[in-house]
Copies of this chain bind each other. A is one copy, B any other.
Amino acid sequence: MVTAEIKKVGLIGGGVIGGGWAARCALQGIDVVVFDGDPQARRKLDEVLANARRAHRALTSVSVKREGTVRVVADLEEACAGVDFIQESLPEREALKIELLSRGSHAARPDVLIASSTSGLLPSRLQSSMENPERFMVAHPFNPVYLMPLVEICPGKQTSEESCERAAAFYRSMGMKPLRVRKEIDAFIADRLMEALWREALWLVHDDIATVEEIDDAIRYGPGLRWALMGSFLVYRLGGGEAGMRHFLEQFGPSLQWPWTKLTEVPTFDQALIEKIAAQSDAQAAGRSIRELERIRDDGLVAVIKGLKSLDWGAGNLLAEYENAKHAKRS
């Protein structure tokens, strides 16, 4: 089955991530069937869809011809039978995922690709009880899924190369950036980096070096601006100036031995630390609701991605490619 024939997607789980997938698909004209037992699922999905429509209008001049339908069902098999692609976004509980992925694989047509949104569990374990496990892989997206381009593709031991390629083509057709993970590893690439940063941030709060708001400011007025453009290595290449990357690395080496992070310890995540962070986070939010903050975030992502469009570089370039493809398809 080629990408163009994916007209209907089954989603296992309709939470923050599943809802984001529903929105990305629907705005591509793809029909979605969401399996979710939460009685609030419909309302939550509609709120995510409203935010996603707003962001999509702001981001691109390419209009949505016909928005896909989003149907919520309380039966897993109903969400998996008769669809052309399945994406699972359940809570991060391995046993639950293994069981529902197995059931989904028995309900689906044998050629239908099945991907898990897990941010850390290993694909070889998740595919262990599946029917036709060669069509399964991890495809790890980022919140909000309807705006964030990255999707990390990590095959398990039984996954076929062809499945990875078909999945990557599908995500690419939806304006995403599939990134192949070279080896099966817990938490893949981006979440390992996020986790490393997050642990250090927890220490800074724990030790009263900075509040959560000050840490967020340190990132967003500082390295965060560069990370959005260039990641880490290219930034350091420039930090080295004319002397070049080798020289920079040779100088940088010793600092790995300096006490610049608390990397050899993990803070105890007790109630006191939870309470401290949560209270500081409430102060930072200053009464703004989650939906309000989501709109601020979405406006910012739109501004960044659109801003980068003129550069032939990074996420903006992806948007330009996507728009060109859509325009070409119609003309």
Within 8 Å CB of A107, what residues of B? none
- 15 cross-chain CB contacts under 8 A: A15-B241, A44-B241, A148-B221, A148-B226, A152-B222, A182-B209, A196-B261, A198-B232, A212-B233, A220-B315, A233-B281, A234-B281, A256-B267, A304-B308, A306-B307
* Contact, CB under 8 Å: B305 / A300: no
B261 touches A192 (CB 8 A): yes
Counting CB contacts under 8 A, is A1 at the interface? Answer: no
Q: Judge whether A96 is part of the interface by a CB distance below 8 angstroms.
A: no
Minimum distance in angstroms from A315 CB to a CB of chain B: 6
Category for how many chain A residues contact B: 35 or more
Would A218 and B179 count as touching, CB distance under 8 A?
A: yes
**Residues from chain B with Cβ under 8 Å of A214 in the complex:** 179-180, 182, 189
Give the chain B neighbours of A245 by CB distance below 8 A. Answer: 277-278, 281-282
* Residues of A near any B CB (own CB < 8 A): 15-16, 44, 92, 120, 142-143, 148-150, 152, 177, 179-183, 185-187, 189-202, 204, 207-210, 212-242, 244-246, 249-250, 252-253, 255-261, 263-264, 266-267, 269, 274-275, 277-278, 280-282, 284-285, 290, 293-294, 296-297, 299-301, 303-308, 310-311, 313-316, 318
CA distance A194 to B201 in the complex (A): 11
A48's closest neighbor in chain B, by CB? B241
